[in-house]
């Protein structure tokens, strides 16, 4: 990985880019993952490369859902494995969630490499190697584990594709997504749409989970029942608008 000077004004973003590129070289991230990262970066620019108020609102509700779930599962793809493996493991440990590898561009080798990468980051068990259940989809993201995603009541699917998200929602699951694009089909279909960078969101959620674990069950239930996903998405779009207005003011000054 290229050394990025820590005082570079866009250090975090450049580091993420290096991690995804390294993921491709290691064989855990698909080449198409580079395009997805680029698309994410452009939305992050518009958002102002920060976790906004609406993102934190959704992240809090998402953590409550994970903590209350009977069978929570975190679905991991090649980009998430390259960007934030330790954060996935930390969040899974605190919330008691299972981890399952699920890929659009699936090969047995990639699944194996991602599982090993997650294990090297501290995961004890990672599902996804021998999928024994299938979702009603025509691509490889249909292949799931019967004790993982297939029977999960709450699924965290960072960087999801819209059609699997829709299928999971139709199956009656609480689907939590992390996607910097508030207009994507994924964001518009999920139960809880987190519009934030996956690296920041998973870090925030692990911290929140540590604190919220001590809260009473009723408090967590209240957080979920009062949560309004339309408000979260509309909030994300208007935060982009506000950020752009600030940028216009800076340019005009």
Encode 122-191 in three state secondary structure: CCCCCECCCCCEECCCCCHHHEECCCCCCCCCEEEEECCCHHHHHHHHHCCCEEEEECCCCCCHHHHHCC
238: left (phi over 0), alpha (psi -120 to 50) or beta: alpha
Residue 104's closest CA among 72, 129, 78?
A: 78
Residue 136 tokens read as 């009603």
Q: Which is nearer to ligand ATP, 102 or 181 (CB)?
A: 181
CB 248 within 8 A of CB 190: no
100: left (phi over 0), alpha (psi -120 to 50) or beta: beta
Any contact of residue 197 with ligand ATP (CB under 6 A)? Answer: yes
Instruction: Please pick, from the candidates 51, 75, 77, 184, the single residue that binds ligand ATP as defined by CB under 6 A.
Output: 184
> Kind and range of the H or E element at 99?
strand 98-101
Smallest gap, in angstroms, from Cβ of residue 216 to ligand ATP?
32
Q: Which is nearer to ligand ATP, 159 or 176 (CB)?
A: 159
Q: Which is nearer to ligand ATP, 119 or 185 (CB)?
A: 185
SS3 194: strand
Instruction: Please pick, from the candidates 39, 105, 167, 207, the single residue that binds ligand ATP as defined by CB under 6 A.
Output: 39
Q: Which is nearer to ligand ATP, 147 or 207 (CB)?
A: 207
Rounded Cα–Cα distance for residues 103 and 128 (Å): 9
Smallest gap, in angstroms, from Cβ of residue 179 to ligand ATP?
5
Q: Stretches 33-41, 67-75, 130-138, 236-244: which one binds ligand ATP (CB under 6 A)? A: 33-41
Any contact of residue 161 with ligand ATP (CB under 6 A)? Answer: yes
Any contact of residue 167 with ligand ATP (CB under 6 A)? Answer: no
Any contact of residue 198 with ligand ATP (CB under 6 A)? Answer: yes
Task: Please give the residues from 79 up to 138 whose contact with ligand ATP meets the rule CB under 6 A.
Answer: 83
Contacting positions for ligand ATP (CB under 6 A):
36-37, 39-40, 43, 83, 159, 161-162, 178-181, 184-186, 197-198
């Amino acid at each position: 990985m290229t050394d990025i000077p820590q005082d570079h004004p866009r250090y975090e973003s450049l580091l993420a880019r290096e991690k995804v590129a390294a993921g491709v070289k290691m064989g855990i991230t698909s080449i198409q993952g580079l395009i997805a990262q680029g698309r994410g970066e452009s939305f992050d620019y518009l958002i102002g490369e920060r976790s906004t108020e609406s993102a934190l609102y959704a992240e809090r509700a998402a953590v409550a859902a994970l903590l209350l779930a009977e069978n929570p599962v975190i679905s991991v793809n090649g980009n998430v494995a390259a960007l934030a493996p330790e954060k996935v493991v930390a969040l899974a440990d605190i919330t008691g969630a299972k981890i399952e590898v699920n890929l659009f561009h699936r090969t047995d080798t990639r699944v194996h490499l991602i599982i090993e990468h997650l294990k090297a980051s501290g995961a004890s068990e990672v599902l996804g190697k021998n999928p024994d259940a299938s979702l009603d989809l025509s691509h490889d993201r249909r292949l799931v584990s019967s004790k993982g995603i297939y029977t999960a009541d709450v699924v965290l699917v960072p960087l999801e594709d819209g059609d699997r998200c829709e299928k999971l929602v139709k199956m009656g699951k609480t689907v939590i997504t992390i996607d910097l694009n508030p207009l994507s089909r994924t964001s518009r279909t999920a139960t809880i749409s987190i519009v934030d960078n996956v690296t920041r969101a998973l870090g925030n959620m692990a911290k929140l989970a540590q604190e919220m674990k001590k809260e009473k069950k009723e408090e967590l239930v209240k957080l979920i029942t009062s949560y309004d996903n339309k408000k979260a998405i509309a909030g994300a779009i208007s935060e982009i608008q506000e950020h752009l207005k600030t940028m216009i003011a800076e340019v005009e000054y």
